[in-house]
Structure 1
Amino acid sequence: MPTSQLSIEQKTRLLLNSPAELTAYSQQAWDMLPRTEIDAIQLCGLKQRFAMLRDRIPVLKKLADGEGVNHVLHINDVVPLLFEHTVYKSYPPSLLEKRNFGQINKWLGKLVTSELAQAIAAVNVSGCEGLDDWFEVMDEAVPQLRISHTSGTSGTLSFLPHAVREWEKFAQLRKMNVHNMQGPDTPLPDLHTIYPYYRKGYLSHVRVHEAMIPALLGHESRFHAAYPATLSSDVLHLGARLRAAQSKGTLDRLEISPQLQAKKQAFDQLQAEMPQHLAAFFDQMSTELRGKRVYIAATWNLLHSMAKAGLERGLEAVFDPDSFIHTSGGGKGVVQPEGWRDDVLRFTGARRINESYAMSEVVGGAHPRCEAGHFHFAPTVIPYLLDPQTSRPLPRHGRVTGRAAFFDLGAEIRWGGFITGDEITIEWDQPCACGRPSYYVVGAIQRYSELTGGDDKITCAATEDSHRQAMDFLNTLEG
């Protein structure tokens, strides 16, 4: 049966479980899904996710009990249950310093479904000397789970629990996008991936390649990283701790274990060898991969650094013009140098850069930037605008500015609702000049911490008492 003839319930099932099938693997149809249809599917999906997860995720149950939320009837009913994005780094920092991964697993188990929490609790992590060991052990012991982490610019890493299925669903959407598919039988050209960073790692934008390689490339040999090594999460965390200690003037009190010192020395050695790795990387691009269609996804600064290094070597228009260059983040929090896009296009030879607004907490979708310069929300994600002082929901009509919050409908083993530190403006009513019917972000994306000149204190829409009780519950790890 054509998907256009499916009921809202049937379409919802596809959006939640296999979103690429909702439009029969047609990128154009995905882009043009009507607003009214998306609104109906998203509300239906929200009701189902809440019913499925309310009593199975311990910290969500604690918060929902405190707020008296037992059913979802309207899109805003879950706003009091949206987590602060800081919840994923709310564990006591001393647990990492003491390498107490058993307690971290107890903390993590309260953020996922009870069935998965049992599997996590059964893992023996007593021998883990650091984060790299912990990630490796968890991957092997709980194969349906993939934990990633953020860069830890604040000094503390966020640990994000995602199901393997969540990554796989997103990879299928990216495949549909990269190849501009018009159906499941769309011929797919040969494709290689260039990645100007480490081959492996547990940092979110590195870890995603585990799902992307089989979906987009089919074989590991088509993935070409600048550095054929694993990015150490322990060293990244050390760097975050050093920056935080330096800003507080407490560097002299920072204790570093002998094991971590050894990892730092190995990292420094790799840094020293990087010129050789880069030379081989660019040599491969200019010979073996010249003229081929490639997929390059990286943060804008990595893309720009690669382009500048290539241009300095006299390399221009290296790849097929139909190559797919992607970067995400929306440029928030940084001043991007003039001409960086021109440098990337001149080096790669691609016709355009595909930009999106995305964050590590949401695996379910990236919000693409259109020809008119607006970020359009993916159908797999429900956007919210909240009052920055109270976190109460703002109107879903007109052009409104507020704190961005999202519900990731792709989340299966965790709660998909969270509040960001971003200020955005959404146009809810007026159609975009590009012709896409979805809601979209207008203008700049900024962090509230920069607007206020300091830390961003998020006020939850939940009552203070119920939110405090939920956070106390999350961080009570005895027993």
Structure 2
Amino acid sequence: MSLTRNKNDVISALDARFQERRHQVPVLRQRAEAEGITEIRSREDMVPLLFPHTTYKSYPESLIAKGRWSSMNRWIDSVSTHRVTDVDVSGVTDVDEWIEALEAAGHLVSSSSGTSGKGSFLNKSVRDREANMQNMIDGLTELGMPPERRWHVIPVGPDTGQSAHVAMRDLIIDNYRRPDGIPLFEGNPPVGHHRYMARLQAMRRAMADGTAAPDEVSAFEAEAQGRAAEQERRLHHWADHILARPTEPIFFNAQFTQLFRLVEILREKGAREGTISGGNALTVGGGLKGSTLPADYQEQIFAMLDIAPERFFHYYSMQELNLRMPRCLGGRYHVPDEIVLFVLDKDGEKLADVVDGRIEGRAAFFDLTVDGRWGGTISGDRIVVELDGCPCGRSGETILPDIARYSDLGNDDKITCAGTMDAYVRGFIEE
């Protein structure tokens, strides 16, 4: 539901969801009571109820370090719609096993890797995953790529083993891969993704402050090199099969970092622009994850892999949302009806002002399809929204492509209410 849609319809939808969720999500109930909000009568009423993205990493790190999994249950329960406190964690020894226990009980936790700091955990239901996966199919269909099993499918990787990633990979394979498709890479399945990422984070800290023992550093570097070698074998597998059938259509499901390395390997094997000519397609998840690539990395990828803009499903989203905002050929992102877009000031305290038909500020959203949590979130992104339609011909507001993280702009990415929300959550853990 966009900024320019019928105001009464938007407010009614938000209020209906608020009346339902305030009785289900403990932190939302406490926040609403503290703000004296019992009804949504305007967009302004929603702003104090939008959860900062940091809410989903508000647990004390000591809970994980000390293996206090029952307390972690209470933490995630405080920001969940469906109760978590009765999930059996008696045999859990690390984060991966905690997530497995939750998933066995129907809580399909979405998690960040925490490479740049503390990881986040979002409780998602089966309905959330179904909405997310159907939205992928709908977006591809709107692009002109309905489910047809006529493609070779290449999930470039790396394989994290996380169930959400596996489910999305399998969705694309099941709906698009031809019966005689390129064989999938048969490598060593990943084990303990979060365990590894936690060790990576701890090792980086220890090396930075000089407390890492030489044998610990050597052992960890050996494991990291093994994982990197596995990914190289994966990419060489794909490159060999691409070159064996260069004119047959391929659907890539990947991240740009891995795709660029695939292009380098293809060049090493003798491929040039025009060698691959199958009219290939691409959908990309995630950003560069801290990697540094040439300024024209996308152009190089598209030219080598024969991917035209009309076969590139590019979108703006985040793990707090079920739905995607697809990018049109005009280069802008369109907000689907089920998402209410808010543009806030930098501190996340109030709605930003409209200036000459544009709004610039902090992106915030309410996803009406979210089931496992409260659907309102304040992101770490600075966006610019155009209210007067799009060059592609569609009406309504659009998000311009120059999206940036406040933390990357040399600014302190501080949302005013974040500390208050963290205090609410800590209170539930201590009860």
Tell me if TM exceeds 0.5: yes
Question: 1:473 corresponds to which residue?
Answer: 424
Describe the SS at the equivalent of 2:138: helix
User: Quick one: distance in 1 between partners of 2:15 and 2:124?
Assistant: 21
User: Quick one: distance in 2 between partners of 1:348 and 1:329?
Assistant: 19
CA gap of 1:107–1:220, structure 2 versus 1, over 3 A, is farther
Shift of 1:128: 1.9
* Alignment pair present for 1:282 and 2:242: no
Shift of 1:318: 3.7
Question: 2:308 corresponds to which residue?
Answer: 351
User: Quick one: distance in 2 between partners of 1:124 and 1:264?
Assistant: 35
CA gap of 1:342–1:154, structure 2 versus 1, over 3 A, is closer
Question: 1:302 corresponds to which residue?
Answer: 258
* Alignment pair present for 1:425 and 2:389: no
CA gap of 1:240–1:298, structure 2 versus 1, over 3 A, is farther
TM norm structure 2:
0.84
Q: Deviations over 1:33-58 (max 9, x none)?
A: 99536x66544432222122111100
User: Quick one: distance in 2 between partners of 1:63 and 1:266?
Assistant: 44
* Alignment pair present for 1:233 and 2:191: no
Letter in 1 for 2:100: E
Shift of 1:275: 3.8
Shift of 1:266: 5.4
TM norm structure 1:
0.77
User: Quick one: distance in 2 between partners of 1:34 and 1:47?
Assistant: 16
Q: Deviations over 1:57-87 (max 9, x none)?
A: 0011010111111111223321111111111
Letter in 1 for 2:5: T
User: Quick one: distance in 2 between partners of 1:362 and 1:122?
Assistant: 26
* Alignment pair present for 1:456 and 2:413: yes
Equivalent residues in 2 for 1:127-166, closer than 5 Å: 127-140=91-104, 142-143=105-106, 145-166=107-128
Describe the SS at the equivalent of 2:108: strand
Q: Which of these residues, 100, 123, 126, is aligned with residue 90 of structure 2?
A: 126
> What is the total number of aligned residue pairs between the two structures?
423
CA gap of 1:451–1:369, structure 2 versus 1, over 3 A, is same
CA gap of 1:204–1:303, structure 2 versus 1, over 3 A, is farther
Q: Deviations over 1:97-156 (max 9, x none)?
A: 22222211110111111xx21xx322222322222222223222x13x211211313321
Equivalent residues in 2 for 1:198-277, closer than 5 Å: 198-202=158-162, 208-209=168-169, 212-214=172-174, 224=184, 229-230=189-190, 232-244=193-205, 249-252=208-211, 268-277=225-234
* Alignment pair present for 1:399 and 2:368: no
Shift of 1:159: 0.7
Describe the SS at the equivalent of 1:434: coil
Contact 1:203-1:233 at 8 Å conserved across structures? no
What are structure 1's unaligned runs of at least 5 residues?
1-14, 16-32
Contact 1:34-1:437 at 8 Å conserved across structures? no
Contact 1:294-1:319 at 8 Å conserved across structures? no
User: Quick one: distance in 1 between partners of 2:426 and 2:218?
Assistant: 30
Describe the SS at the equivalent of 1:282: helix
Aligned residues with identical type, % of pairs: 28
User: Please, which moves more after superposition, 407-416 or 227-236?
Assistant: 227-236
Question: 1:10 corresponds to which residue?
Answer: none
Equivalent residues in 2 for 1:76-87, closer than 5 Å: 76-87=44-55
Q: CA RMSD in A?
A: 3.6
Question: 1:368 corresponds to which residue?
Answer: 326
What are structure 2's unaligned runs of at least 5 residues?
none
